[in-house]
Structure 1
Amino acid sequence: MQSRARKTPRNLQPPILLEKLDQLGNRFQMIEVRKVLIGNLNTERTHIPSDNTMVVTKDLMQFVTSNCYGVRTLVFQNCIVDEDSLKFMASEEFTIKNRLKEVVLDNIRYDDDESVKNFSNLITHETRCLSFNQCSISFMESVVLEKLRSLNHRVDLVNIGFDENESDPKREIFIEEFKQYSKLVIPMGRVTVEKKTRDEREHPGSWQSIFGPSSAPPN
């Protein structure tokens, strides 16, 4: 998958990747796909984007939209979702959003505070389950709760994984507020934010994440 260098960001996937995906689409009935997971399997969970962190781009989301008509669950995991792909997902071209029953955001990063608001467009009246891991209360309030309020929509289930910077009282108050818009809210426990690595010290603050600025406790 395409990596994004911090100083020379790319906003397209490598042609060979899209060719391979097209070949898969022609060979298999991708209309039968119900779950799409996009991202990296990052077992270390350092919360800091490395040089091989996948970048979700507009052309990749266009492929998913054009080929995976039957998708019901969309998962973004350990990846950067760039501004253009978020704008595409907010547009009328992203037709699968009205069929999504479940949305999962796990350790997601984005380009800027303005573009992150477009995550809310993944939530519609069809949404039944939401899962957020390594997220901040500010993200949940400004993006998720605001969208549910505007839709006047109540989902069946919300899974929430808070980062360690959120205090217990804040978490409890927020969960109670979220219960107005979900039949069941399950906190997934605290997420431990690891200390800064050499990589972040050399490349500070390049990306932001849904659990807050890309920082860790001081050494």
Structure 2
Amino acid sequence: MRLGDTFPNFQAPTTIGGKSFFLRHIDFYEWLGDSWGILFSHPADYTPVCTTELGRAANYFPKFVERGVKLIALSVDSLESHKGWVEDIKSYCPELRNKDFPFPLIADEKRELAIKFGMLDPDEKDSKGMPLTCRSLFVIGPDKKLKLSILYPASTGRSFDEVIRVVDSLQLTQKRKVATPADWKPGNHCMVLPTLTPEEVKANFTEEITVVPMPSGKNYVRHVTLNNN
């Protein structure tokens, strides 16, 4: 998958839905609708780092809802394994106890989706010698195109603060003709796109633009603090 590619539709069994086999399956496009979506994979159920990640994602779920983002996770274990593991996650995270788990988990026992999306980790194997999924994360836009991908090894847990940050950046830069600098957070200054001419800058910004002088004499570093970002 490359940035800008249309993310393929798929059908898969998940922890949502009714008791029948058919109702447990989702159609990804239908489930996503007009929302942003995040699909992220985990090496295996009942593993410590994955437990912390699913717990943090569940705790942050309201933040994703505020941004119009749906979450869905994947690992290569069964639905029954997922359901038992969810109870462990809820026990480990006190904020989740006595609540429904807020997003679905995909069962990919045959590793069909893991292979399709390049999620398999060649260095991580289960007890049967089968490859496990690495920590892939895909951000998909309402247009069903891949907006961002992040790949972590099994040994390194993700920062969901960073996931929130990049979603904020993606949604902002879709609306305004800016890029976000290193370590940007909402409220910080942005960079005016270097491709914009002075005339286009005037047409697209009511905010004050600060041109940062550079030894080269080129005026490509232009700061702007947006009024409604």
Per the normalisation by structure 1, the TM-score is 0.24
Q: Greater share of helix residues, 1 or 2?
A: 1
Task: Flag the structure with larger Rg.
Answer: 2
Higher relative contact order (CA 8 A, sep 6+): 2
